Amino acid sequence: MSNDAAPILLTVTADPRLARLVRMTAANVATLSSMSVDRVEDIRMAAEEAFIYACAVQNGNELSIAFDVDVEHVTMTFSLACDPAGVCPPEGEAAYADLILGAVCDSYEKRADPAALVLTLKADV
């Protein structure tokens, strides 16, 4: 896959019942990279955790997830309606998401302007 690939954008309602759709989309995008089966599983887990976190922030509103992929990495950007470092999600959910995403992702960032969660996972093969 070349670096000039068309952007991949998924827009869904921030509803935890749609977590499987987000997880499966992330896994399919990961196969465009040179990720191993284990790494694809990591991206599935990261996508689901970030989506559940975003659902707490977005509260049923529209949520966009942009995927940037090449042979070396996948980056997912979850656009949020408020500052992800603020008090929007319940504390327990935010702490759990931080733990999982920090452990699984090569890079995990909460951006304030514009508000977003940005996750990067590098290919391992």
Per-residue model confidence as pLDDT tens digits over 77-121: 999 877 555 545 555 666 788 889 999 999 999 998 888 999 999
- Check residues 63 and 81 and name the one with the higher pLDDT: 63
pLDDT of residue 7: 81
In a domain, 28, yes or no: yes
Q: Are 93 and 4 in contact (CB under 8 A)?
A: no
In a domain, 2, yes or no: no
Q: Is the pLDDT of residue 17 over 90?
A: yes
Q: Is the pLDDT of residue 2 over 50?
A: no
Q: What distances in angstroms separate CA 8 from CA 19, 29, 58, one per listed residue?
A: 17, 8, 21
pLDDT of residue 70: 93
Percent of the chain with pLDDT over 90: 65
pTM of the full structure: 0.87
Non-local (6+) Cβ contacts of 109 within 8 A are 117, 118, 119
Non-local (6+) Cβ contacts of 39 within 8 A are 30, 121, 123, 124, 125
CATH number reported for the structural domain that contains residue 106 in this entry = 3.30.565.10
In a domain, 70, yes or no: yes
In a domain, 49, yes or no: yes
In terms of residue numbers, what domain contains 52?
8-122
In a domain, 1, yes or no: no
Q: Which residues pair with 65 in a beta bridge?
A: 10, 78
Q: Is the pLDDT of residue 69 over 80?
A: yes
Mean pLDDT of 4-27: 91
- What's the rounded Cα separation, in Å, for the pair 93 and 87? 11
In a domain, 37, yes or no: yes
In a domain, 42, yes or no: yes
Q: What is the number of structural domains in the chain?
A: 1
